[in-house]
Each structure stands twice: as structure tokens, then as C-alpha cells.
Amino acid sequence: MNQKTSYRWVILFLFVFGTAILNFGSLIFASRPADVMEMYGMSQAQLTAVSTVSQLPGALLSVIIGNLLDRKGVRKITAIMLAVAAICMIWRVFAGSYVELFIITLLAGAFFLPISVAAPKCIGAWFPPEEMGFSMGIYGAAAGLGTTLAFGLGNLFPSTKAAFIFIAGGYVLMLVLWLLLGRENPVAAGADGAPAAPPAAPKGAVGLVAKSKYMWMVMICGGLSVGAALLLNTYLVNAFVAKGLDPAAASGVATILNIALLIGGVISGMVVSKLGLYNAPYIFICVVGAALYYLAYMLPISGLTYVLVFVGGIIISGSIGVNMARIPLLTMTGDFGPECVGTAAGMNNTSVGICAFVVPVIVSSVFDQNYTGIFTIFAVFLVICAVVGGILLPELGENGKLAKSLKAGSK
């Protein structure tokens, strides 16, 4: 049940803050590449691996976590796992080797999973359908906020250890905020006026969601868009250094890009909510955004480079958020009900986890320092997203045929 209460903004803030902290903690490595690689004796491939490994647990545990949240509720499970994630990040401050750093970052990502998995379920429950694009656009921009802060502040820390202390403090703050402000999804009142228990996921919910071909389309778009974004972020500074920029200027390009992602995530959500359509905007987002990124790298360095990066970032930011906004709306297809949205979000996060780790690691191993190849494969991934999420997936917006037919049938 979507109750349009002001508290929905508090719930949204919690997930935005949590996602920003997660991305800040992951991309801190890529924002300080020379220092981190020297400190732990890393190669470029290892830097990419440790920058993306926090996403890997999503490939293994998201469906389990999503189903658990559907059955047991969000608040308690999330609080317990956030506490362990905070302990891991405090432990990471004292990591003495690359292997230890890798393992701790992996564990922290695993225990922080409820923030990623529960977001579509909770936001979908607290916000009405007509605000889904906007609210999920804001949530989608949280990743851009985290990476913007990582690249903008990363080199300001006196040492990598100091950065780790700051991140650990952010994880502890997230736990405190959740304990103080986190609530279960709003539910209808029972016959006695007291809140009724939220509907639990039916037995076999995982199989039910897995049978939906539309769920798999959303998973393809979710995985490739996040994997491609992380791939580019881990390469961006070194790629523009190779083009002739000094490290500070190259970090500036990364900062500009991620500021654009932050702004664009909100704008894209507003646009799809205003239009009541997802597919046509999604094609534009993926194709035009990828083309501008590609041109920004391929053309000679000039003022136009910064313009292309900024405009491309604003456009392409919706490739993640707009797609994620579809998850609560997939119930319109009749493949599964609202009580299975947590499981659906878990499946999407599984795809994101696989692609966010495997795609950057495999691509970086194949292309190494072939930066033209990196930008090319990035564009290919986004075109695939455009085809799957803009052509093959049914329109789930308020002004689409499916929504209109459902409204007509309910009258």
C-alpha cells in the first residue's frame, strides 16, 4: 500500500545516504590510484577488483536477503547486518595487505546488502506509482553522490588510512540513523484500527519471480549499466592522464562527471515521472549518453571535453535509476505481486553484483591499458541496455498502454 505521508522522504534519505556511503567506500581506491597501488603493491587489475568487490556479494546473496526481507521484515534484519558491516569497515582501517583489504571489503559489501536490496521494496511501498520515477531517480543519484565525493575528497585526505577512518565513521552513522529512523513499510489498518501485518511472500516466491521474462530484462539492464559505470570510473583518471592531462586535472574530469551523474539522476527521475513513460526516455539516456562519453575521450583534449563529460553524465545517469524504478512496477505485468518485490529487488541486485564485479575485472584483464577499447565496450553495453530496456520491455509508465488498461479494468 502506498501511503503518501511526509515520512516517505525520511525513508528515501536513509537509502540515499547508505548508497552514497557504499560507493564512497568503494571508489576511494580509484580516486587515490597511485597512493593505494603503492601502499598495497597493486596492479591496475587489482585496483579495479578491490574497487568493485563490494558489489560481488550481491551476486551470491541478494535473492536470499530479498526473500528474507519479504518474510521477516526490513527493520530488524537491516539493523543487524549494518552493525556487522560497520565492524568490518573499522577493521579495514588496520588492513596490512592487499589480500586482507580485499577480504574485508568483500565482507563489508555482503553485510551492507540490505541497503541495496530493500531500496526498491521500501521506496516502492512508501511512494505512490506516479512518484516512482522521481523517487527512484533521487535514489539512483545516490551512487553518483558517493562517487562524486570519493573523487572530490579522495585526494584531500592526508593518507589512505585517514580516508578509511572517515568511511568507517560513515558506516557507523548509517547504523545509528537506521536504528533511530528506519521503519517497516506502511501497511493498511486492520479491522480494529491497528496496523495490519504486511503481506508475506508466498512459498516459492523466488521461483515465481524467476519465471518472469520481464524481470530478466530488468536484470540485464541493471547489471550492464552498473557494471559499465564502475568499469569507467575505475579507468577514468588514468585514461585522461594518458591523454595528456595531469593527475589533478584528470581527477577534475572525474569529479565533473560524477557531479553530472548526481544532478542527472534527479532530472531523469523527474522527466520519466512527468511523462509517465519509461521506454523512450531510456533509449535516449543509454544511446545519447554513451555517444557523448565516447566523443569526450576520442576528441582532442579541450574545453569541449569537459562539456561532453558533463552533459553525457547528466543524460546517462538515468540508465541505473530509471531501470530500478521499474522493479516495483513489474507487478503490473501480473507475473508476481507486491509481496514479492523484495525478492525481485534481490534478483536484480544479483545481476548487479555479478556484472559490477565480473564485467570490470574481465574487461580490465582483456583491455588492460587500452583505454579506447574501454570506452568502446562501455558504449556497446549501453546500447544493449537501450535495446532490452527500451524496446523489448513493456512500457510500465503511468501513461503506457499497460497501466491504462489496468486502470480501465478496475473501474
Q: What is the pLDDT of residues 62-81, one digit of tens each?
A: 888 888 887 777 888 899 99
For residue 3, tell me if it sits in a domain: no
Q: How confident is the model at residue 200 (pLDDT cuts 50, 70, 90)?
A: low
SS (H, E, C) 35-65: HHHHHHCCCHHHHHHHHHHHHCHHHHHHHHH
Question: DSSP of 340-376, one letter per residue?
Answer: GHHHHHHHHHHHHHHHHHHHHHHHHHHHTT-HHHHHH
| Segments forming the whole domain that contains residue 141 | 8-186+198-410
- Percent of the chain clearing pLDDT 90 (strictly above): 30
Q: How confident is the model at residue 281 (pLDDT cuts 50, 70, 90)?
A: very high
pLDDT score of 170 more than 90: yes
pLDDT score of 55 more than 90: no
For residue 73, tell me if it sits in a domain: yes
Q: How high is the pLDDT of residue 190?
A: 43
Sign of CA dihedral 368, 313, 265, 206: negative
For residue 362, tell me if it sits in a domain: yes
Query: Which cell numbers hold the place of 344?
Result: 525481485
pLDDT score of 389 more than 90: yes
If DSSP codes are grouped into helix, strand and coil, which group holds residue 189? Answer: strand
Number of structural domains, the chain? 1
Q: What is the CA radius of gyration of the chain?
A: 20
Reference 356, options 234, 259, 263; nearest CA is: 234
pLDDT score of 3 more than 60: no
Q: How high is the pLDDT of residue 151?
A: 75
Phi and psi, residue 196, nearest 5°: -80, 155
For residue 191, tell me if it sits in a domain: no
Q: What one-letter code names the amino acid at 163?
A: A
Q: How high is the pLDDT of residue 186?
A: 61
Helix (H) or strand (E) holding 277, with range, is: none
The average confidence (pLDDT) of the chain is 84
- The residue that leads in pLDDT, 391 or 204, is 391
pLDDT score of 195 more than 90: no
Q: How high is the pLDDT of residue 269?
A: 84
Highest mean pLDDT among 22-31, 133-142, 306-315: 306-315
pLDDT score of 328 more than 90: no
What mean pLDDT do residues 12-24 have?
91
For residue 193, tell me if it sits in a domain: no
Q: How confident is the model at residue 411 (pLDDT cuts 50, 70, 90)?
A: low
pLDDT score of 244 more than 70: yes
Q: How confident is the model at residue 194 (pLDDT cuts 50, 70, 90)?
A: very low
Q: Give 128-160 pLDDT, tens digit per residue.
A: 877 878 888 888 778 778 877 887 788 888 888
- The residue that leads in pLDDT, 2 or 371, is 371
For residue 192, tell me if it sits in a domain: no
For residue 94, tell me if it sits in a domain: yes
What mean pLDDT do residues 245-260 have?
82
pLDDT score of 311 more than 60: yes
Q: How high is the pLDDT of residue 126?
A: 84
What mean pLDDT do residues 316-330 have?
87
Q: How high is the pLDDT of residue 72?
A: 79
pLDDT score of 337 more than 50: yes
Sign of CA dihedral 354, 356, 361, 363: positive
Beta bridge partners of 195: 189
For residue 1, tell me if it sits in a domain: no
**Total length of the chain:** 411
Q: Give 204-243 pLDDT, tens digit per residue.
A: 778 889 999 999 999 999 999 988 887 887 788 888 888 8
CATH of the domain at 288: 1.20.1250.20
Q: How confident is the model at residue 202 (pLDDT cuts 50, 70, 90)?
A: low
Q: How high is the pLDDT of residue 384?
A: 96
